[in-house]
């Protein structure tokens, strides 16, 4: 039976994994996505962050790389299982039995680092939206080689994709319903300099399909109402993500608007279940990475006390706990 199962491999889940390893607990991290980093990887990997302690500024993806490297020191003690969504939790005699999309695990404690929940892409809501060449993420740039790609959206990820496609010499058009973009000014400039085509303020009003593949897109200028038909081999939709809130009703845990209500040691209303990071709420809670890191350390320390009530855990400093070999 594992000491702890950490649910979620956002920055806070990864740091909790590191801390659990450092505190000599055994366990695992389960993550529903095929990658680590949570919101930082999914929503804003190229954005600069300015409020990570000791960093004047650091890109989101570099925060993820750093905290992943830190965690990786303990990957044998706390392995990471990607594409593993937590489905259900059952109370058993000495802890919990959890069922994920891939396995059954027994553990003494659970630490939720589930952030705002899973992310599902906001869909294109128009007839024909299930066509095979409508995509919501880029798995491999190779499939777009020598193809014509239309990107829908005006945020950072849409423009980042646009620039990446142009850098791979792929014919790219961005369609956005407003003249103003939410994306970073520099990325928009980059896209324009690389001769990307921008069509604003346009909305997609019809898809023309053949054999379940979009062949043509009919778009309408929102100011002039003029319609235009453009061709595309692929449509990449980037209308953002919808968080699906945490829902673990089966264990009857206290939540407020989808966030776990926690005590000062990060324990929830269920014995042996803890939570940290964006997944929690309490008076004065700040949903930032720096605060979440602290909560992860607090939660793992409390879990250690919970499992080993008689163990002396007075040595709280990593400078004493970790011995580096020269
Ligand atoms: C655009 C933007 C800019 C931001 N800028 C800053 C900033 O400058 N500074 C700052 O401090 N914060 C910033 N934040 C907030 C910051 O991203 C969050 O505080 C941080 O991501 C919280 O980390 P987390 O690990 O708690 O949750 P998340 O990053 O949300 O990660 C949670 C992980 O849990 C996984 N998960 C959820 N449910 C399950 C399940 N049932 N089974 C398995 N896995 C599951 C998810 O897939 C996800 O990977 C920003 C957020 C956004 C959107």
- Residue 168 region by backbone torsions, left for phi larger than 0, else alpha for psi between -120 and 50, else beta: alpha
Nearest to 96 by CA among 113, 86, 110: 110
Whose CA is closest to 136, among 157, 118, 114, 115?
A: 157
Strand-pair category, 259-261 with 255-256: antiparallel
Q: What is the pLDDT of residue 244?
A: 63
Q: What is the pLDDT of residue 196?
A: 96
| CA–centroid distance, residue 122 to ligand 1 (Å) | 17
* CATH 3.50.50.60-classified regions of the chain: 2-119+242-321, 123-239
Q: Per-10-residue mean pLDDT for the chain, 326 residues long?
A: 97 98 96 93 87 96 97 97 90 91 94 85 90 87 94 90 93 96 90 96 96 96 96 93 61 84 96 96 96 98 94 78 70
pLDDT at 247: 57
Q: What is the pLDDT of residue 311?
A: 82
Question: In what helix (H) or strand (E) does residue 48 lie, and over which residues does it extend?
Answer: strand 48-49
Which pLDDT score is estimated for 44?
Answer: 83
pLDDT value at position 277? 98
Pocket test for ligand 1, best of 15, 36, 38, 248 (most atoms within 8 A of CB): 38
The Cα–Cα gap between 306 and 265 comes to 11
DSSP secondary structure of 50-71: --STT-SSEEHHHHHHHHHHHH
Which of 3.40.50.920, 3.50.50.60, 3.40.47.10, 3.40.50.2300 is the CATH number of 2-119+242-321? 3.50.50.60
Task: Supply the pLDDT for residue 253.
Answer: 85
Q: What is the fold, at CATH topology level, of the domain defined by 123-239?
A: FAD/NAD(P)-binding domain (3.50.50)
pLDDT of residue 245: 58
Which residues have any ligand 1 atom within 6 Å of their CB?
7-13, 30-33, 38-40, 43-44, 49, 51, 85-86, 113-118, 277-279, 287-290, 292
Find all residues with CB under 8 Å of 246, minimum gap 6, and list them: 112, 114, 117, 255, 258, 259, 260, 279
């Amino acid at each position: 039976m594992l000491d702890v199962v950490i649910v979620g491999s956002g920055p806070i889940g990864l740091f909790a994994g590191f801390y659990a390893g450092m505190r000599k607990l055994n366990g695992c991290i389960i993550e529903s996505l095929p990658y680590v980093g949570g919101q930082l990887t999914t929503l804003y990997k190229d954005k600069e962050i300015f409020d990570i302690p000791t960093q004047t500024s650091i890109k989101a993806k570099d925060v993820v790389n750093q905290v992943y490297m830190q965690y990786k020191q303990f990957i044998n003690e706390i392995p990471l299982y990607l594409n593993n969504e937590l489905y259900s939790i059952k109370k058993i005699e000495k802890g919990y039995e959890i069922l994920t999309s891939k396995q059954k695990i027994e553990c003494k404690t659970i630490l939720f680092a589930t952030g705002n929940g899973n992310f599902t892409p906001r869909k294109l809501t128009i007839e024909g939206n299930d066509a095979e060449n409508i995509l919501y993420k880029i798995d491999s740039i190779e499939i777009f080689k020598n193809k014509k790609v239309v990107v829908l959206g005006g945020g950072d990820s849409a423009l980042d994709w646009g620039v990446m496609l142009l850098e791979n010499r792929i014919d790219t058009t961005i369609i956005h319903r407003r003249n103003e973009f939410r994306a970073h000014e520099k990325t928009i400039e980059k896209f324009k300099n690389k001769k990307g085509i921008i069509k604003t303020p346009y909305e997609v009003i019809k898809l023309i399909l053949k054999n379940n593949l979009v062949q043509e897109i009919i778009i309408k200028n929102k100011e002039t109402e003029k319609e235009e038909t453009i061709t595309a081999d692929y449509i990449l939709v980037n209308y953002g993500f919808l968080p699906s809130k945490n829902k673990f009703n089966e264990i009857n845990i206290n939540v407020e608007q989808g966030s776990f209500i926690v005590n000062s040691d990060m324990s929830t209303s269920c014995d042996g279940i803890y939570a940290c990071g964006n997944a929690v709420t309490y008076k004065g809670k700040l949903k930032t990475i720096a605060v979440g890191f602290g909560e992860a350390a607090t939660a793992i320390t409390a879990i250690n006390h919970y499992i080993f009530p008689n163990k002396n855990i007075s040595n709280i400093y990593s400078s004493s706990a970790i011995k580096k070999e020269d």
